[in-house]
């Protein structure tokens, strides 16, 4: 349990009556267990620290308000004769209370074992108090940003939010997603000892993806041994998230290892589109194009021509491209040539530097020879007209790690660059040594020429091949 700072003078305002509506079954069971524990009556109480009030979530009769007030003031369990009040926390915040009034005489008291069990019940109650995670009229992004502000103020040195795309979320789904995101952030802030937390929210065609990653201590996802009480809350919270995801026909992936942080990725259907088939591996495709008509056309062609390809999202600008690839982890990025602009090499290098870089396919009506050379040299798997029949074949090949170029593109690559002379035998020798990673001085010693001469040969090769640096030159082979 995380100790909370004392709250001197916390004025608790009880409501006129208990909360309306049917309580969650888990809360009812917790209240029943609390009553059985002390041989009397049990309650679960919701607490709103901002409004400085509390309300009965589950339980009958008059709840011992004085014990709740003392508990909220001290932030610690309170035993007052036959009455027990234990705080329900989400990190440092108190969001509720587990309260029990013993049926026996006050002299019998409440034992330390009773307090310990009530604290365990409080861990479960924290997961079931649903109102701690509702959007209450806020957008999902706004609510997550506020949650990150709290995480940054209380637990981490940095908390970032990245959003890609924009779409309406079906009623009720936003609350569910926010509750799961809260639970993941709670784990990062309280259990992971993380310095940095990052959340990504990506609106895709028919899906909503949320990624939560931290640089904390991590854990062994394969471990099956019982967890210590001190860390049981983290695994319990993730189990609750997994259960919610299954109920919503979603997918939850957790990647973690001791000392390497934790990465949680939640994908949920948010339209009437059929949910993913469990256990089925599909090639994920991200489509990036400035014009919506191009994006829609490419997605439609791929869906009709290759049903095994999964559309993970669409992006309309270069600014969102790298972030979307990192958050969604697509196998193939189909990107409009014009979207990359003059920073073709820089963007391709940033994509290639990601932990799981996607295979890249360029969309272009007619890619100039120099740009085609540069793109292929940087590892692009194909360049195709967005309306061409070859589109599906090129993207499918890229998903398999293959490069598929048209015959005319191969001929253009084989021909000398326009406006330049063919590569000389000496330049071919230099290029081979550059590909081996040798420096100008090392190449000069190998060929018995000066480093200055090597530098001139490398500059000539860059001009003739249309490459921008030694790395791209080496990739040309």
Model confidence pLDDT, tens digit, residues 355-382: 888 899 998 877 777 777 778 877 888 8
The arithmetic mean of pLDDT across residues 159-167, rounded, is 82
Range with lowest mean pLDDT among 261-275, 371-385, 450-464: 261-275
| Per-residue model confidence as pLDDT tens digits over 6-23 | 444 444 445 433 343 444
Quick one: pLDDT at residue 255? 86
CATH of domain 134-269: 3.30.565.10
Quick one: pLDDT at residue 274? 44
Rounded Cα gap, residues 167 and 204, in angstroms: 8
Is the pLDDT assigned to residue 277 strictly greater than 50?
Answer: no
Range with lowest mean pLDDT among 142-156, 286-300, 408-422, 443-457: 408-422
Quick one: pLDDT at residue 86? 94
| Per-residue model confidence as pLDDT tens digits over 247-270 | 788 888 888 888 888 889 898 888
The arithmetic mean of pLDDT across residues 175-198, rounded, is 82
Compare 107 and 439 and report the one with higher pLDDT: 439
How sure is the predictor about 51, in pLDDT bands with cuts at 50, 70 and 90? low
Q: Quick check: 58 and 88 in contact, CB under 8 A?
A: no
Considering only CA atoms, which of 205, 231, 389 is closest in space to residue 305? 389
Range with lowest mean pLDDT among 223-237, 394-408, 460-474: 223-237
Quick one: pLDDT at residue 229? 32
Q: Which is the CATH superfamily of the domain at 25-132? A: GAF domain (3.30.450.40)
Instruction: Say if 134-269 and 425-476 have the same CATH topology.
Output: no
For the record, the structure tokens of 213 come out as: 């990653």
How sure is the predictor about 77, in pLDDT bands with cuts at 50, 70 and 90? very high
| Per-residue model confidence as pLDDT tens digits over 92-125 | 678 889 999 886 544 456 888 888 888 888 887 8
Q: Over pLDDT 70: what percentage of the chain?
A: 79
Quick one: pLDDT at residue 251? 87
Considering only CA atoms, which of 298, 301, 330, 309 is closest in space to residue 396? 309
CATH of domain 425-476: 1.10.10.10
How sure is the predictor about 458, in pLDDT bands with cuts at 50, 70 and 90? confident
Is the pLDDT assigned to residue 279 strictly greater than 70?
Answer: no
For the record, the structure tokens of 129 come out as: 């108090």
Beta strand pairing call for 207-214 and 262-269: antiparallel
Q: What sign for the dihedral angle of Cα 393, 399, 402, 408?
A: positive
Q: Quick check: 196 and 215 in contact, CB under 8 A?
A: yes
DSSP state of 318: G
Q: Does domain 283-414 have CATH number 3.40.50.2300?
A: yes
Rounded Cα gap, residues 33 and 125, in angstroms: 12
Rounded Cα gap, residues 292 and 296, in angstroms: 6
Bridge partners, residue 200, by sequence: 162, 211
Rounded mean pLDDT of the chain?
Answer: 77
For the record, the structure tokens of 46 come out as: 């919701």
Q: Give residue limits of the domains in the chain.
A: 25-132, 134-269, 283-414, 425-476
* pTM beyond 0.75: no
Q: Over pLDDT 90: what percentage of the chain?
A: 3
């Amino acid at each position: 349990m995380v100790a909370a700072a004392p709250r001197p003078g916390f004025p608790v305002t009880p409501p006129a009556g208990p909360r309306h509506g049917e309580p969650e079954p888990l809360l009812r069971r917790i209240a029943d267990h609390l009553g059985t524990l002390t041989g009397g009556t049990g309650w679960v109480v919701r607490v709103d620290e901002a409004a400085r009030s509390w309300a009965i979530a589950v339980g009958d009769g008059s709840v011992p308000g004085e014990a709740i007030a003392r508990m909220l003031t001290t932030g610690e369990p309170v035993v007052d004769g036959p009455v027990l009040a234990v705080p329900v926390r989400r990190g440092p915040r108190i969001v509720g209370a587990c309260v029990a009034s013993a049926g026996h005489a006050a002299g019998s008291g409440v034992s330390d074992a009773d307090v310990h069990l009530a604290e365990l019940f409080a861990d479960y109650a924290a997961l079931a108090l649903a109102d701690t995670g509702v959007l209450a009229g806020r957008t999902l992004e706004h609510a997550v940003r506020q949650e990150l502000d709290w995480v940054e103020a209380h637990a981490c040195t940095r908390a970032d939010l990245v959003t890609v795309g924009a779409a309406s979320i079906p009623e009720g789904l936003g609350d569910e997603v926010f509750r799961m995101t809260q639970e993941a952030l709670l784990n990062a802030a309280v259990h992971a000892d993380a310095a940095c937390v990052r959340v990504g929210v990506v609106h895709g065609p028919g899906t909503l993806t949320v990624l939560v990653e931290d640089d904390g201590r991590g854990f062994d996802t394969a471990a099956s041994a019982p967890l210590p009480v001190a860390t049981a809350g983290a695994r319990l919270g993730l189990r609750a998230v997994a259960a919610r995801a299954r109920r919503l026909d979603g997918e939850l992936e957790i990647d973690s290892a001791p000392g390497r942080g934790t990465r949680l990725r939640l994908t949920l259907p948010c339209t009437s589109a059929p949910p993913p088939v469990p256990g089925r591996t599909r090639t994920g495709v991200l489509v990036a194009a400035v014009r919506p008509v191009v994006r829609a056309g490419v997605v439609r062609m791929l869906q009709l021509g290759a049903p095994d390809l999964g559309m993970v999202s669409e992006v309309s600008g270069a600014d969102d491209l790298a972030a979307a690839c990192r958050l969604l982890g697509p196998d193939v990025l189909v990107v409009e040539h014009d979207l990359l602009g003059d920073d073709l090499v820089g963007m391709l290098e940033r994509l290639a530097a990601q932990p799981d870089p996607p295979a890249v396919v360029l969309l272009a009506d007619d890619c100039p020879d120099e740009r085609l050379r540069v793109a292929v040299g940087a590892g692009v798997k194909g360049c195709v007209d967005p309306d061409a029949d070859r589109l599906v074949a090129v993207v499918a090949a890229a998903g398999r790690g293959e490069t598929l170029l048209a015959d005319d593109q191969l001929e253009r690559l084989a021909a000398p660059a326009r406006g330049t002379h063919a590569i000389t035998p000496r330049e071919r020798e230099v290029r081979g040594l550059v590909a081996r990673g040798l420096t100008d001085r090392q190449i000069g010693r190998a060929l018995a020429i000066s480093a200055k001469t090597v530098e001139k040969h490398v500059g000539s090769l860059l001009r003739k091949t249309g490459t921008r640096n030694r790395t791209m030159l080496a990739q040309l082979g």
